[in-house]
Amino acid sequence: MSDQSPDPPPPPEPATRAVGGTEYSWCRAVPGGTGITVLALLLAKPPDLSLLRNALHDLQKSHPMLRSRIRFDPVANAFSFVIPSSPHLEITPFDLSSTSRILSGEDGDGADGAGTAPLHVILEHEMNRNAWRGSGDDDADADADVFHASLYHLSEDRWALALRLHTAACDRAAAAALLRKLLLAAAAEGRNGEELQEEEEEAYLGIEELVPSGKANKPFWARGMDLLGYSLNSFRLANLEFVEAEPPRCSRMVRLKMNRDDTQRLVAGCKSREIKLCGALAAAALIAAHASKQPADSKWEKYAVVTLVDCRSYLDPPLSVQQPGFYHSAILNTHDVCGSEKLWDLAKRTYTAFANAKSWNKHFTDMADLNFLMCKAIDNPGLTVSSSLRTAFVSVFEDTVVNESNPLHEEIGVGDYIGCASVHGVGPSIAFFDTIRDGELDCACVYPSPLHSREQMQKLIDDMKRILAEAD
């Protein structure tokens, strides 16, 4: 009888699925710099790397998309998600010296040290760390993780935890849910040293496979007319003046914050007019942009607004907001602005145009059209003004993220946090990631630099804040 123990069974083969149409668009966009989602947290307590890693592994165990890798097949020109059976994420630490170089802008990796706070600079640094830059190139011979984590030592008593995700695997709604679950998981481990076990979810298909039957139907001739209309309209669209149109580009962020009283008045104004905050934000941006050019009031300009809709509740089957993946769709509307508009009149007009389009299922019927045009712009930047890759002036989300502080924040030492995504490839001139936190509006406003300057965008945001605060 042999004493030799049997060889351990080989690890299971990773699951694989092809990306859907919208996911393919993001796989094309992210290498150019649009769609790098970042959550940055400021910590006032020394973090335990082992505890954090275990908490992140718990999330990867329960959400297969968070442990997936993106694979590109150059022969088929196709992307797929490869999903290993076990978590593998490791946290990259940056010591005081390395972090100091980043904060001062000496590292040359996208941050310029001009942020108003260290967390701001770290956020910009992370938005410009592109682990997927080679994805889709013929020389990209390795699978690329969709999830990365880094820990920065800012000072003797401050740290920044940054989570960086590929937007095709985790959109804004899922990222907000991910942050809440991470705090819960980290606090649970900190209290009892045990993993927070959750049932593993299914790695769902792309959004196109889950659209209810008939909702995305559009006659062939109508699709052709819409594609032509979107294309021709793009040459008539106004934008902010470009400061420097030549690449290379990176993403920068300015922050729009309002106190509780102003936020409550703004939210009450939206509620009384039966519109959502996205309408007011878009309207304020349009008014501020038009005013920045100081044209005569009689000069009309046409601006494009993209509104992103979280479709999870409309799918078949419906999905939880905690299900990672990209399940947003876009509705593009154009608006004529002459400079004499009042905020609430324009907000009502912009929101009504969006709501009407949504009622006609444009978030489903136009999904393939907008994805096609997005990829065409990536392939042919010259189709956009000054080869800027700008597809709209502004993007907003239909629904605002609402967060309230809880004891977990203090327990883990969370002092501040920001969530947003990069836009310096194809996309808008400014993207709003709005949150109402403890009753106060906190909006991360991301823009492509040097196409637009920090001074230019800061003035735009200051004007927007004044417009929103002074609205009757």
Give me the pLDDT at residue 195, please: 47
Domain ranges across the chain: 15-192, 219-470
Question: First CA to last CA across the chain, in angstroms?
Answer: 90
SS3 sequence of 207-274: HHHHCCCCCCCCCHHHHHHHHHHHHHHHCCECCCCCCCCCCCCEEEEEEEECCHHHHHHHHHHHHHCC
More confident call, 28 vs 15: 28
Give me the pLDDT at residue 313, please: 95
Q: List pLDDT tens digits, range 355-378.
A: 999 999 999 999 999 999 999 999
Using left for φ > 0, alpha for ψ between -120 and 50, and beta otherwise, residue 438 falls in left
Alpha-carbon gap, residue 161 to 370, rounded angstroms: 34
Alpha-carbon gap, residue 144 to 72, rounded angstroms: 9
Give me the pLDDT at residue 190, please: 54
Alpha-carbon gap, residue 66 to 64, rounded angstroms: 5
For 1, 11, 12, 123, 389, the CA distances from 6, given in Å and listed in that order, are 13, 15, 17, 50, 58
Give me the pLDDT at residue 194, please: 47
Question: What are the tokens at 54?
Answer: 């275990």
Q: List pLDDT tens digits, range 77-97.
A: 899 999 998 999 999 999 999
15-192: what CATH class?
A: alpha beta
Q: List pLDDT tens digits, range 423-449.
A: 999 999 999 999 999 999 999 999 999
Cis upstream peptide for 74 (omega within 30°)? no
Give me the pLDDT at residue 451, please: 97
Domains 15-192 and 219-470 belong to one CATH topology: yes
For residue 74, what are the contacts with CB-CB under 8 A and spacing of at least 6? 137, 138, 140
Element (H, E) at 72: strand 69-73
Which CATH number is associated with domain 219-470?
Answer: 3.30.559.30
Q: List pLDDT tens digits, range 131-186.
A: 997 654 444 446 899 999 999 999 999 999 999 999 999 999 999 999 888 887 77
Instruction: Please tell me the least confidently modeled range out of 9-13, 67-71, 108-112, 151-155.
Output: 108-112
* Cβ proximity of 424 and 448 under 8 Å: yes
For residue 237, what are the contacts with CB-CB under 8 A and spacing of at least 6? 302, 303, 304, 334, 385, 392, 393
pTM of the model: 0.92
Question: What are the tokens at 385?
Answer: 């003004």
Residue type, 256: L
